Amino acid sequence: MSSTVALSHAKLPRWAPALVGVVSLAAAGLPAMLLGWGLFAWLVASVLLFLAALPGWSLVVEGRRSAVDRLMTGLVWSAFGVAVLPLVWLIYVVVDQGAQAINGEFLTYSMRGVIGDEQGGVYHALIGTVFITLAATVVSVPIGILTAVYLVEYGGRSKLARWITFLVDVMTGIPSIVAGLFALALVVLIFGPAFRMGFGGSIALSLLMIPTVVRSAEEMFRLVPMDLREASYALGVPKWRTILKVVVPTAIGGVITGIVLAISRVIGETAPLLVVAGATDGVNFNLFDGRMTTLPVFIYSQYAQSTPAGYQRAWGGALVLIAIVMLLNLIARLLGKLLAPKKA
């Protein structure tokens, strides 16, 4: 025998995975039909069959390395399916249930004076969510970004910087109800026990937002190459202008994405808002006086009514909330793309 290494070997046809997939579905379908399994059990059985059959076939024809490759590929795809399935299912259910509740009146009327099965609306909760979240963003973004600038550009390895990093990490873990109680205590301390205002909710939400904003902005600022800062210093540009005109613009796309993720994270908070901002049936445009309802609180209170109309309105509110989060994410992606450094 010469010492030539064989460079080619037998391969399964390209349609092999598809064939095994169909056969597995069919094979698992037989006991599923006979024993009356549900859709879920049938899918799980098919996947298990597929994961055994394709690598087995490959082992016979292609050899061990290819068989392991096919097994791992199959596992990765299965894990992907497990991760994505609940998400798709959730969106499907919310859209399916919520779409029935959505109509012009639902979006433009509040719940004031609505009794029993009468048509009500989310308008007041929509206003509440937009105002409270916006105010929370206005409070947290400057604090978060300036903290990140300090940590990256000035703090270095100083004690203060390490303490701030530690405290930000701790803040990330604050249960939202604790943030709510803190904001309530603050509002009560200043304005008296019976006082409620939407801005109190914003304070609670900013406590939850700030650590996320700090962390993501810090990551993005650290990604800006030192070369660019040096190039700017070497042109006789002071440090503060370098930060403002080189570091921040270079990182802005990622920073905005981080901010929007932080917003998406807090826009669905219920507990702290129920505590501080309270709940109301009517529209309130004043952030600084009176109770304000947000969408999650609206969903919660409608669900708590335990009537068909209440459930219906809760699903409708959930769909509106998801639509808002989706819209925010799209806007963030668009801004990120528009503001990111361009390549030719």
Partner 1 sequence: MAKSIDVSDLNIYYGDFLAVEGVSMTIKARSVTAFIGPSGCGKSTMLRSLNRMHEVIPGARVEGKVMVDGQSLYGPDVDPVAVRRSIGMVFQRPNPFPTMSIYDNVLAGSRLNSRKLSKADADDIVERSLTHANLWNEVKDRLGKPGQGLSGGQQQRLCIARAIAVEPEVLLMDEPCSALDPISTSAIEDLIHELKSDYTIVIVTHNMQQAARVSDETGFFNLKAAGQPGHLVEFNATKKMFTNPDEPATEAYISGRFG
Name which of 87 and 234 has its Cβ closer to partner 1. 234
Binds partner 1 by CB under 8 A, chosen from 14, 40, 189, 227: 227
Separation between Cα atoms, residue 95 and residue 72, nearest integer Å: 35
Contacts of 73 (CB under 8 A, 6+ apart): none
Binders of partner 1 among residues 280 to 319 (CB under 8 A) are none
Name which of 87 and 235 has its Cβ closer to partner 1. 235
User: Residue 257 Cβ, how far from partner 1 at the closest point, in Å?
Assistant: 16
Q: What are phi and psi of 2, to 5 degrees?
A: -80, 170
**CA distances from residue 23 to 26, 29, 30 in whole angstroms, order as listed:** 5, 10, 11
User: What does DSSP assign to residue 81?
Assistant: H
What one-letter code names the amino acid at 88? Answer: V
Binders of partner 1 among residues 233 to 262 (CB under 8 A) are 233-238, 241-242, 245-246, 249-250
Binders of partner 1 among residues 102 to 161 (CB under 8 A) are 156-157
Closest CA to 264 of 154, 153, 133: 133
User: What is the radius of gyration, based on Cα positions, of the chain?
Assistant: 27
Name which of 257 and 301 has its Cβ closer to partner 1. 257
Binders of partner 1 among residues 156 to 215 (CB under 8 A) are 156-157
Contact segment (CB under 8 A) with partner 1 among 53-61, 222-230, 288-296, 305-313 equals 222-230
Name which of 218 and 269 has its Cβ closer to partner 1. 218
Separation between Cα atoms, residue 140 and residue 129, nearest integer Å: 16
Contact segment (CB under 8 A) with partner 1 among 173-181, 262-270, 271-279, 336-344 equals 336-344
User: Residue 261 Cβ, how far from partner 1 at the closest point, in Å?
Assistant: 22
Does the protein bind partner 1 through residue 231 (CB under 8 A)? yes
Name which of 81 and 156 has its Cβ closer to partner 1. 156
Contacts of 286 (CB under 8 A, 6+ apart): 197, 198
The residue count for binding partner 1 (CB under 8 A) is 25
Name which of 14 and 343 has its Cβ closer to partner 1. 343
Which residue intervals of the chain are DSSP H helices?
Answer: 16-35, 39-61, 64-99, 104-108, 123-149, 159-172, 176-191, 198-223, 226-234, 239-242, 248-267, 271-276, 295-305, 308-339
Name which of 232 and 280 has its Cβ closer to partner 1. 232
Q: Which residues bind partner 1 (CB under 8 A)?
A: 156-157, 225, 227-238, 241-242, 245-246, 249-250, 341-344
